[in-house]
Structure 1
Amino acid sequence: MDRRQFVAQTMAGSVLLSAGGLSLGSCSDRKKHLTVLHTNDVHSHIDPFPVDHADFPGLGGLARRAGLVQSIREENPNTLLLDAGDIFQGTPYFNFYGGELEFKLMSKLKYDASTIGNHDFDNGIDGLLAQIPYASFDFLIANYDFSNTVLDGYTKPYKTYLRDGIKVGIYGIGIQLAGLVTKKLYKETEYLDPYEIALDMETQLRETEKCDVVICLSHLGYSYENENKPDDLTLAQRTQHTDLIIGGHTHTFLERPTIVTNAGGRDILVNQVGCFGVNLGRIDFYFDADGAKAQGVTISV
């Protein structure tokens, strides 16, 4: 199946959004269009898989992703490129370069923001700090308190971005590190309740920052059937102002975004595109005089 067929067959149904405070009068008669591209759990996979690979024959590779991102940006300059964590660990590139190459290449692709996954601590909090100068994008994480660590001041709980007059607020939420990461690696990082922090962040972004679209970059995981752990589906049900949750950690391959009804009775999108950079997620938000809607696709790289 070629990429065009793949995209056509994975188009999700439109979701109507009461998204934020966009002044429809400012749109005139022109529809505004925001594109959000995203990856998760790339795990240092820079090269494509071999053509005889059992699971991902010939798929992936950062060069192909770069070409795809460039073509989408040419189609719509009002594009954001995001990552949901676990950038590190998985190939010899990480073992040899410690994350420097991954951050440099993501910067070349002009990623806008990423959250932090548990494997991004695999060289310790000091190892992560050593690579941050190679990243030209923002690290967003709201429920890790780095106040008593060397990472204090190097991350943000959220950030706002402006594209074609559309104000986009993005916040990051991370998984509990205890039990996944050795204490000596994350040191005095304090984990805060992700649901409580998410409610604080989305309220700040919608009501104070007056964002038109609110996005959560999550590394909680899509869902857990038999475990009482925070996950993206539950997060979506509990939030009120978040329009899109971009997830990671569980390596969940979704053909299309999941539609979840939130605490305010509004349908929102939850998406995750597997792992190892074999897919690129794409969500398109359209604003016009009738309101806003979103559509999602998964693109094979």
Structure 2
Amino acid sequence: MKRRDFITHTAAASTLVGLGGLSLNSCSGSGAKKLTILHTNDVHSHIDPFPSSHSRYPNLGGIARRAQLVEQIRNENPNTLLFDAGDIFQGTPYFNFYGGELEFKLMSKLNYDASTIGNHDFDNGIDGLLAQMPHATFDMISANYDFSNTVMEGLVKPYKLYLVDGIKIGVYGLGIAFDGLVTKRLYKETQYLNPFEIALDMERQLKEGEQCDLVICLSHLGYSYENPERPSDVQLAQRTYHTNLIIGGHTHTFLERPDVRINKNGDSVLVNQVGCYGLNLGRIDFYFDNDKNASASGVSILV
């Protein structure tokens, strides 16, 4: 699928998929546990809403509105996690002036749980990214960027574990190749590793080693490309075994609802991306029965 450059003007569009053969009706009764995953991607330093005179996105977006939505959903379901799929930086004068400090401080105020790293997050170089790390109370996650022998060594985790209402969630991150996107002087000695190989290692460790009930990938690979050799979220979903949800970024793809792909085990994988600039907030609700079988529904909320 090519990049879809449109905004859904409905408040929410939903999809329902059974994971492990569980239907929504069977998990909506007593004993079901509900986990809510909220997510953004490619916000690109857009702090304020677009002006009402904007030709494409009039009066849309803004981090204050997103904060209200997140608070409302957390009040509805305290079992909520909030993630970002990268490209936090670059796009407005806020980044040019503050260098990412404001973005990290505001995301921290929203209590983001983790983000992966996008190519534009290197725009002030690896030293510029390091300088902003003290302002982030959330974890930076990337499994295929090797920061050994760089100033960022030890500051980026390959994955993070969360225990929410007895449900164990493993989250790993993947970043895009630097070639053609980030110059060597910016990423310096950072090593890019094959995302498919790393994903298989990560999901195996999370599912079999850590015994996670849910495995999530924060990806900045891009949704899909015409070139089948270029790594993408769609390919990742089809090549993995244990990843349940891929939260994507980079291609600014506006999906009305999560895409459903089939993995190597023949199970459903959700792939979602909510455009760019903070115009939408992604929401995925997972329902677990007493045996921790799961089903999920997804919505894209216009901010």
- The equivalent of 1:97 in structure 2 is 98
CA contact (8 A) 2:10 2:302 kept: no
The answer on 1:6 being equivalent to 2:11 is yes
Q: What is the percentage of aligned positions where both structures have the same residue? A: 71
Instruction: Give 3-state SS (helix, strand or coil) of 1:126's partner.
Output: helix
- The equivalent of 1:170 in structure 2 is 171
User: Would the alpha carbon gap of residues 227 and 95 (structure 1) be closer, same or farther in structure 2, given more than 3 Å must change?
Assistant: farther
The answer on 1:202 being equivalent to 2:203 is yes
CA contact (8 A) 2:9 2:302 kept: no
Equivalent residue runs for 1:264-279 within 5 Å: 264-279=265-280
Give the CA deviation at 1:44: 0.1
- The equivalent of 1:217 in structure 2 is 218
Q: Which of 286, 294, 297 pairs up with 2:296?
A: 294
Give the CA deviation at 1:122: 0.1
Runs of 4+ in 1 over 6 A off after TM superposition: none
CA contact (8 A) 1:171 1:217 kept: yes
Instruction: Give 3-state SS (helix, strand or coil) of 2:107's partner.
Output: helix
- The equivalent of 1:161 in structure 2 is 162
CA contact (8 A) 1:29 1:289 kept: no
The two structures have a TM-score, normalised by structure 1, of 0.93
- State the one-letter code of the partner of 2:11: F
- The equivalent of 1:24 in structure 2 is none
Q: Which of 18, 21, 29 pairs up with 2:20?
A: 18
Instruction: Give 3-state SS (helix, strand or coil) of 2:14's partner.
Output: coil
- State the one-letter code of the partner of 2:251: T
The answer on 1:35 being equivalent to 2:56 is no
Give the CA deviation at 1:5: 5.6
Give the CA deviation at 1:289: 4.0
1:211-265 Cα deviation digits (max 9, x unpaired): 1100000000000013631000000000010000000000000000000000110
- The equivalent of 2:240 in structure 1 is 239
Matches of 2:114 and 2:145 in 1, distance apart?
16
The two structures have a TM-score, normalised by structure 2, of 0.93
Stretches of structure 1 lacking an aligned partner (at least 5 in a row): 20-27
Instruction: Give 3-state SS (helix, strand or coil) of 1:6's partner.
Output: coil
- State the one-letter code of the partner of 1:245: I
Stretches of structure 2 lacking an aligned partner (at least 5 in a row): 1-7, 22-28
Q: State the number of aligned residues.
A: 288
Give the CA deviation at 1:192: 0.4
